[in-house]
Structure 1
């Protein structure tokens, strides 16, 4: 019997381990199922965290192993992040949390649902929410991330209707990503290009901003929208700039190129004109200071930030500062003249290179060192343009949309009567609100967009000098107005302007 003892023990141990493994898998599956309906995320949240009574203490959770985590988190990244109250970090599949300013009680291990405990590979926090990505690239959301730890709770819900869908996974070709939240509690309002303040929707506006491989595409992944990759924004230089990293906070997107060029943009689904169900928009020039004015379109453009006057890496970070979505803190990892590691920092509204200030941290550099030319090199090595040409005829007019771009508006709308010179208008376009999934880009399935035709003021003032067919179109079909809303249906081969009954083809 003694000779068979080890085998029997091994067999028994195998059965026990197999049973434990099976039980763990079953527990994990049950946890994942529960998370598909759990959590308070998307609940109304309008009270600033500074006005909330404390709810529990971080000290209830186990302390992190000594030396595992930094004393402070300076840059928001996929391994470390922060909001106004807490710092978060992931190591070894776990998530740790500490007061944002450091000090007692130090880093504590955050209890995680069995569904993804020990399996976290990336995180990003902003405002009152934190997103975690597990090994299978599934998206999990922690709500109440600005409140007391007793109120922390997780959900896997994502997608329509209203953030109650079956869940989301992060696409495999995402080169970098960041979680952005703008809320009535922290930000209160945002300002449009007319300078008017608009209240932020009661349910916030939360997006994953995903920089895709190649650096030209920025996908907006919103928990209220279809679980696809169909919503994107136009990058700098009409989508041709190649970014190497992205960070986002409070609906302000921050990108950096391989030569150290920096751009920011205030942009989200509501600000950009995609959501006419809940908001009013207009391309007409709005009067500054009018509290009843609609949101001025087009949405704010990309702003080229001044170059950092020193050595930098690809690691960047943006975080909220104040209300109104005006001020944001930009940080770029780098070294000072003595070669000491740290980060450069400035306010997003500061326009001079001298505004960058260096802060030494003693941390090792995380990003890739860049060739940071002091001059604007953002047009170097631009990617291919995604502009398309559509053309057709309507009566005596030949019509051409010379540079239509799904993501980058506007396009030139050219009208030509006979052999005369073309008359140039503008066609503005943004993706329509939809709840059904569709492919990225164009195919044979019509893509609905909200369009606006703009007639230049100089053309309206001298309309009587234009060819008869042009005069008739502008005076009759467009009502003699500067801006006219139209519906667009776009496929890979055709652009249809529904109100005007135009079908233009490639």
Structure 2
């Protein structure tokens, strides 16, 4: 969620939170800065501190985005130079688990250590100052905007922030997860630790456009770590302000049945591809999804097209004269297929101040020459940049540039059906239900026996304590809306009566949903409302 604004607080508050969360995780409250303990699978490395490794100033991350450099680019020269014999790249074109960049610096991982230099400088590679027990044990990195995340071989997350500033202000911590970035250790899901299966996203854009075309100001950063699970069909996101679990997901393309081979993410825009080079992008995070009403004001209703956008985030939140964030969040956008050979090495990075200012890159080949294909997020045409370098991944065999092969590797439908009653003698049924999807097809059957195809939108709720992934016996609370506009209530007297009596006269009716593996309880949105119906598994 929001860029860490409280992580560096000192005194009783920090000591209490650290002690509590440390006890919960079985992690000592006190770090051991000089420790060189071996990598452990049961806890993160203790020499990576809970609060800060700042070398010069007090730990104040988040008060400025980014903190200003102390000495500028000259700070890189204070880092030890890499050994000449090591095979470090002459250029960094991609963001993946072995290299990455932002507008200020570029990074590369070799033999468990991280190296850096100013972006596009061609200067000597220099070794990043890293806690002793983590150095030489990093197996993967990901960089976006002001953050670098490193994983050890057990998938523990270690973040280094302020990487838009000089190296003197680069700051390591093992904290990640609720409360407010204070949880003392978190792991990436097991499947997500493989190559091209995870990425860090740090949104620092000044604005974004919602699903209905309204522009919204953004004044703070948002961090989330994206990873592929479920054989490539599930997309888990971990936010350092959310509970330390794997319970939040971005519903995948094509109703969650698309099998992603690789994922990349930047500034809350997620980019996936399958084994045939068919690609999708989506703008999505906790705030865009409608799950965080602390900084955001949302609406499921259709707003007037001439409703103005707010000049700043504070006025948008509290002044209803300005457009709210439209829900549901924008769905996946199908990316034009590349007219040439490609690998599964995909990358996305920011190219401007708006969320929509993103550049997509895909490693590949054209006419026998190696390099990468690139295009802007909203552009239709791919361009090729020749590098002459060795391809890091094999060419995707079977990929046909002229054919959409998105459905060639679809997973089976969920097979989950919920059905039950609604007031006034109505029945409802939803088939192949996937809780992580934003929209679900629902069949309403009226007292006359006539059927109406409508849509139920949902979004995951804001939680304070960890829970398991997917559905289980612990109810999962979703917010949402029942939208019957597609069934044209104006042409059916009984549906119009249902809208008037059950949906308070609104064709888009805001709801709350309680979900377990065995039942779906639908209620009007709000506190202490009576359920409209309970749908069960037939």
Is TM more than 0.5 here?
Answer: yes
Of 246-255 and 364-373, deviating more is 364-373
Structure 1 residues not aligned, in runs of 5+: 1-21
Alignment-derived partner of residue 512 in structure 2: 487
Where 1:57 maps in the other structure, the secondary structure is helix
Shift of residue 399 of structure 1? 2.3
Shift of residue 138 of structure 1? 1.2
Where 1:473 maps in the other structure, the secondary structure is helix
Shift of residue 471 of structure 1? 4.4
| Contact 1:189 1:325 (C-alpha < 8 Å) held by counterparts | yes
Alignment-derived partner of residue 434 in structure 1: 463
Shift of residue 418 of structure 1? 3.6
Q: 1:212 aligns with which of 229, 240, 243?
A: 229
Alignment-derived partner of residue 264 in structure 1: 281
Alignment-derived partner of residue 451 in structure 1: 480
- Number of positions where the alignment pairs a residue of Structure 1 with one of Structure 2: 471
Where 2:77 maps in the other structure, the secondary structure is helix
Alignment-derived partner of residue 25 in structure 1: 37
Shift of residue 451 of structure 1? 1.9
Q: Could you report, residue by residue, the CA deviation over 1:438-488 in whole angstroms, capped at 9, with x for unpaired residues?
A: 1111111111110211121763423xx433xx4443102211112221111
Compared with structure 1, are the counterparts of its residues 46 and 59 closer, same or farther at alpha carbon in structure 2 (3 Å cutoff)? closer
Where 1:404 maps in the other structure, the secondary structure is coil
Compared with structure 1, are the counterparts of its residues 403 and 30 closer, same or farther at alpha carbon in structure 2 (3 Å cutoff)? closer
Counterpart-to-counterpart distance in 1, 2:35 and 2:182: 28
| Contact 1:457 1:482 (C-alpha < 8 Å) held by counterparts | no
Compared with structure 1, are the counterparts of its residues 63 and 52 closer, same or farther at alpha carbon in structure 2 (3 Å cutoff)? closer
Counterpart-to-counterpart distance in 2, 1:209 and 1:77: 12
| Contact 1:403 1:412 (C-alpha < 8 Å) held by counterparts | no
Shift of residue 53 of structure 1? 6.9
Q: Could you report, residue by residue, the CA deviation over 1:231-257 in whole angstroms, capped at 9, with x for unpaired residues?
A: 111111111111111111111111111
Where 1:120 maps in the other structure, the secondary structure is coil
Q: Which runs of structure 2 are paired with 1:342-361 in the superposition (5 Å)?
A: 342-351=371-380, 355-361=381-387
Alignment-derived partner of residue 237 in structure 1: 254
Alignment-derived partner of residue 339 in structure 2: 309
Where 2:499 maps in the other structure, the secondary structure is helix
Where 1:238 maps in the other structure, the secondary structure is helix
Counterpart-to-counterpart distance in 2, 1:53 and 1:408: 48
| Contact 1:31 1:113 (C-alpha < 8 Å) held by counterparts | no
Alignment-derived partner of residue 392 in structure 1: 420
CA RMSD of aligned residues (A): 2.5
Q: 1:195 aligns with which of 213, 224, 246?
A: 213
Q: Which runs of structure 2 are paired with 1:100-119 in the superposition (5 Å)?
A: 100-104=119-123, 106-119=124-137
So what's the TM-score if we normalise by structure 1? 0.87
Counterpart-to-counterpart distance in 1, 2:45 and 2:493: 69
Q: 2:404 aligns with which of 371, 376, 389?
A: 376
Compared with structure 1, are the counterparts of its residues 53 and 117 closer, same or farther at alpha carbon in structure 2 (3 Å cutoff)? closer
Shift of residue 387 of structure 1? 5.6
| Contact 1:308 1:356 (C-alpha < 8 Å) held by counterparts | yes
Counterpart-to-counterpart distance in 1, 2:103 and 2:73: 16
Alignment-derived partner of residue 408 in structure 1: 437
Larger Cα-atom Rg = 1
Alignment-derived partner of residue 478 in structure 1: 503
Counterpart-to-counterpart distance in 1, 2:278 and 2:49: 41
Counterpart-to-counterpart distance in 2, 1:360 and 1:387: 46
Shift of residue 309 of structure 1? 1.2
Compared with structure 1, are the counterparts of its residues 478 and 310 closer, same or farther at alpha carbon in structure 2 (3 Å cutoff)? same
Alignment-derived partner of residue 300 in structure 1: 330
Compared with structure 1, are the counterparts of its residues 109 and 53 closer, same or farther at alpha carbon in structure 2 (3 Å cutoff)? closer
Question: Quick check: 1:284 aligned with 2:312?
Answer: no
Alignment-derived partner of residue 7 in structure 1: none
| Contact 2:300 2:510 (C-alpha < 8 Å) held by counterparts | no
Compared with structure 1, are the counterparts of its residues 433 and 333 closer, same or farther at alpha carbon in structure 2 (3 Å cutoff)? same
Q: 1:85 aligns with which of 104, 110, 119?
A: 104
Counterpart-to-counterpart distance in 2, 1:214 and 1:504: 29
Where 1:237 maps in the other structure, the secondary structure is helix
Counterpart-to-counterpart distance in 1, 2:48 and 2:158: 12
| Contact 2:361 2:372 (C-alpha < 8 Å) held by counterparts | yes
Q: Could you report, residue by residue, the CA deviation over 1:138-171 in whole angstroms, capped at 9, with x for unpaired residues?
A: 1111110000111111111111111111211122
Alignment-derived partner of residue 323 in structure 1: 353
| Contact 2:66 2:164 (C-alpha < 8 Å) held by counterparts | no
Shift of residue 428 of structure 1? 0.7
| Contact 1:455 1:481 (C-alpha < 8 Å) held by counterparts | no
Compared with structure 1, are the counterparts of its residues 169 and 457 closer, same or farther at alpha carbon in structure 2 (3 Å cutoff)? closer
| Contact 1:143 1:153 (C-alpha < 8 Å) held by counterparts | yes
| Contact 1:315 1:368 (C-alpha < 8 Å) held by counterparts | no
